[in-house]
Structure 1
Amino acid sequence: MALIGYARTSTVGQDNGLETQKHLLDEAGCKRIFFEKVTGTSTINRNELKEATQFLDRGDTLIVTKIDRLARSIIDLHNIVRELNIKGVNVRFLKENIEFQAGENNNSLQTLLFNILGSFAQFERDIIVERTGEGRERAKKQGKHMGRPSKNKKEIDKALKLYNDREANGLSVNDISKMTGVPRSSIYAELKKR
């Protein structure tokens, strides 16, 4: 009957969040912690979650710091908890103070709270995606460049001159790209324009 932790952050830049989760899971008595940096909107590519569910045995408890760390989709959230409960594994969420016991009828108020909090996690994620898309569209309409900043005309001209003289100077496109800092794709795109 082991306590096993699972921690997740969405991006590489959230190292503090991952460390905080690990600390809380250590304090909760977890003997092993699975952690990963991947989006919680889907269970695809969540290898550590898959490994954790395979590692857990009947009578064990999976401990997660918050509901949204396990999943951002209400459907995925329910599926994960249900599958673990069927396997005989309990699932505990520290922040919300909710635990789903395997093989027991769980408290209806607890289930309601779980559904509400899971829905809020999904809603929050949907809003982030929506706002990001709106911001991207607004920037495009304002003529702002999306993606990597483009190189200045002087650097591009230098790269093209080197490209045109490549037989004489013996440089490859990769060499030219490294020397000027202009990506190969930009060199080829500029050549098509001319």
Structure 2
Amino acid sequence: MKIGYARVSTAGQDLDSQRQLLVEQGCEKVYVEKVTGTSTAPREALTDMTENVRTGDTIYITKIDRLARSIIDLNNLVSDLIEKGVSVVFIKDNMTFEAGNANSSMNTLMFNILASFAQFERDLIVERTTEGREKAKANGKHMGRPASSSKKDMQKAIDLYYEKDEKGLSVADICRMTGVKKATFYTKLKQVQGDS
């Protein structure tokens, strides 16, 4: 049986081109997932595929880095599949690892070189992201989610809280009126009460 595996790293990326290429190769079943990171641990479709393949199956993957970006993970995955009697084809890399066949030394060398480049590329992305984050912090840029409420709205919510009994308001009413989230409100209230 011909089986395909497609993966993208982010929700914004498109799986259609990978899926189409796998179908063109004659894949009867295609495992698909949107998962980022170097580890193969959180990849449920990959786990499902490796558990369900049978001797004589062939797995098609568009490129080496779609299977894994760690040299160790790539080697382990391909070795485990070949031991199960499953062949692995990397379409765009023009590489095939056949079960039950002594794969050429040149094929293994090219596989390790391409795997090294995939891991190197991933490491560069992590480095650049970290550098960018540190530079932004050094320039006083806020990292993370923007505040859910303005200072003005928060102050209005706190003021209404202290007047709530005379106005007959509940915390839910105050949050609805000001647009401040309850959890944010209680955190700020605790700060205000701690300061006084």
What's the TM-score once normalised by structure 1's chain length?
Answer: 0.90
Q: Name the count of aligned residue pairs.
A: 189
Other-structure match for 1:157 = 155
Q: Which moved more, 1:41-50 or 1:176-185?
A: 176-185
Q: Which moved more, 1:62-71 or 1:5-14?
A: 5-14
Q: Percent identity?
A: 55
Letter in 1 for 2:9: S
Other-structure match for 2:46 = 49
1:22 aligns with 2:19: yes
Other-structure match for 1:8 = 7
Larger radius of gyration: 2
In the alignment, the residues of structure 2 paired with residue 124 and residue 58 of structure 1 have an alpha-carbon distance, to the nearest angstrom, of 33
1:171 aligns with 2:171: yes
Letter in 2 for 1:24: L
2:171 partner SS: coil
In the alignment, the residues of structure 1 paired with residue 125 and residue 177 of structure 2 have an alpha-carbon distance, to the nearest angstrom, of 39
Residue 40 of structure 1 and its aligned partner are, at CA, apart by 4.6
1:103 partner SS: coil
Other-structure match for 2:116 = 119
The partner residue of 1:101 within 90, 98, 103 is 98
Shift in alpha-carbon separation, 1:40–1:8, aligned structure 2, 3 A: farther
Shift in alpha-carbon separation, 1:106–1:181, aligned structure 2, 3 A: farther
Shift in alpha-carbon separation, 1:65–1:165, aligned structure 2, 3 A: farther
Contact between 1:66 and 1:94, CA under 8 Å: does it hold in 2? yes
In the alignment, the residues of structure 2 paired with residue 135 and residue 101 of structure 1 have an alpha-carbon distance, to the nearest angstrom, of 43
Contact between 1:40 and 1:69, CA under 8 Å: does it hold in 2? no
In the alignment, the residues of structure 2 paired with residue 45 and residue 110 of structure 1 have an alpha-carbon distance, to the nearest angstrom, of 29
Contact between 1:40 and 1:68, CA under 8 Å: does it hold in 2? no
Q: Which runs of 5+ in 1 are unaligned?
A: none
Q: Which moved more, 1:80-89 or 1:127-136?
A: 127-136
Residue 51 of structure 1 and its aligned partner are, at CA, apart by 0.6
Q: Which moved more, 1:154-163 or 1:81-90?
A: 154-163
Shift in alpha-carbon separation, 1:113–1:120, aligned structure 2, 3 A: same
2:45 partner SS: helix
Other-structure match for 2:129 = 132
Letter in 1 for 2:24: E
1:182 aligns with 2:173: no
Root mean square deviation of aligned Cα: 1.7
In the alignment, the residues of structure 1 paired with residue 36 and residue 161 of structure 2 have an alpha-carbon distance, to the nearest angstrom, of 41
Shift in alpha-carbon separation, 1:54–1:140, aligned structure 2, 3 A: same
1:169 partner SS: coil
Deviation string for 1:95-138 (max 9, x for gaps)?
00101011211111111111111111111111111111111111
